Amino acid sequence: MKRLTVELGERSYPIWIGAGVLGQLPRLLEEAGINNQRKLFIVTDEHVAPLYLDKTTTVLRNAGYMVYHSIVEAGEKAKSLSIYERVMTEALEAGLDRQSAFLALGGGVVGDLAGFVAATYMRGVAFVQIPTTLLAHDSSVGGKVAVNHPLGKNIIGAFHQPRLVAYDTELLKTLPSREVAAGFAEVIKHGLIWDEAFVEWLEQNADGLQRFDDNLLQETLLRACSVKVAVVSEDEKERGLRAILNLGHTFGHAFEALCGYEKLNHGEAVAIGMVAAAMLAEHLGMASSISNRTRRILKQYSLPVVLPYAMEADAIIEVMRRDKKGEGGKLVFVLPTAIGKVEIRKDVAEEAVRDVLCALQEGGKL
């Protein structure tokens, strides 16, 4: 197993990465201060439950923990206030108290939902991230937890750091190919915002990574999580540097919302959003020759680079105005200036954004 540490003073926590991490969970919980005198409540979804819920429950019960669970529907629709209320009710019925802990067993949706429940249950209790998707390497680190509102993604949320992240790479091997591709979108993002050498490494190892070579996969997760750790350790609550992690997300969240959180998954929407951000940077004269390379690496990982569904540019902009990253109704973008470098821009004219959005639906070139 490999270990990273998110440095947040008294709230610092480890990220464990490797094959077989799940079997070590009781020891890792004990080290994190969650002993077997506490009740545990696992939140998972209908896709993950048949694969890993029994195994996780057995490991924990064999170590003396009292374990309860809630199975929610798969996908973004689980991040709703109605599902949040249901999980809260089930936790209360199970008798969880302030010493109990929630475990998120699943992808980013489950992590966001379980984390928000933990953040608000009795004003905040412990929780643990057990990611089962590649995409969740990003969302499981950093303490952002939330549910959606029909008018915007992740609008209702909090910052609530986990006690630990237990990332068992064996759990990734049952992922559908589309989910694997979605996960690589956020991996690539970490290179594009921070580390050109990592982008080059991803370009060179695309074939092996898509075959899920275990050594390459662990190295990928370590390097991608290291970027997230460095940023979050410096800026936990997104008052400055952490905003760079939103490359592609202002566009992407709007695409997801206008598709009803169904037609595009998060990674696909962010991939298209990163192309849009690169095109916008070029359109504004901030960079050159970035969008082509961005498209090329995303295509290597079977990700979309143009909008596959018709959307009105004005409708997209209206959704972006409500994005929580906006300020005073103005659009805020993370835009690349080079591969591995980005800037936060709060002064982008809507007409420039509209030009990019129209081009994105007409073949992807301005």
Q: Is 144 annotated as a binding residue?
A: yes
Residue 298 and residue 305: Cα distance in Å, rounded?
Answer: 7
Q: Under a CB-based contact definition with an 8 Å cutoff, are residues 141 and 108 in contact?
A: no
Give the orientation angle of helix 313-321 with respect to helix 249-258, to 10 degrees: 110
Q: Is 69 annotated as a binding residue?
A: no
Contacts of 88 (CB under 8 A, 6+ apart): 117, 120, 121
Q: Is 191 annotated as a binding residue?
A: no
Q: Is 112 annotated as a binding residue?
A: yes
Q: Is 133 annotated as a binding residue?
A: yes
Residue 67 and residue 38: Cα distance in Å, rounded?
Answer: 9
Q: Under a CB-based contact definition with an 8 Å cutoff, are residues 118 and 146 in contact?
A: no
Q: Under a CB-based contact definition with an 8 Å cutoff, are residues 297 and 203 in contact?
A: yes
Residue with tokens 């993002």, as numbered in its chain: 189
Q: Is 179 annotated as a binding residue?
A: no
* Residues carrying an active site annotation: 123, 144, 186, 228, 238, 242, 246, 249, 253, 266
Q: Is 186 annotated as a binding residue?
A: yes
Q: Which long-range contacts (CB under 8 A, 24 or more apart) does 213-219 make?
A: 214/19, 214/169, 217/169, 217/172, 218/2, 218/17, 218/18, 218/19, 218/169
Amino acid, res. 224 = A
Residue 215 and residue 196: Cα distance in Å, rounded?
Answer: 21
Q: Is 365 annotated as a binding residue?
A: no
Q: What are the C-alpha distances in Å from 101 to residues 166, 219, 236?
A: 15, 30, 22
> Is the sign of the CA dihedral 145, 147, 151, 153 positive or negative?
positive
Q: Is 111 annotated as a binding residue?
A: yes
Q: Is 249 annotated as a binding residue?
A: yes
Q: Is 196 annotated as a binding residue?
A: no
Q: Which residues does the annotation place in the binding site for NAD(+)?
A: 108-112, 132-133, 144, 153
Binding residues: 108-112, 132-133, 144, 153, 186, 249, 266
Which residues make up each annotated binding site for Zn(2+)?
Answer: 186, 249, 266
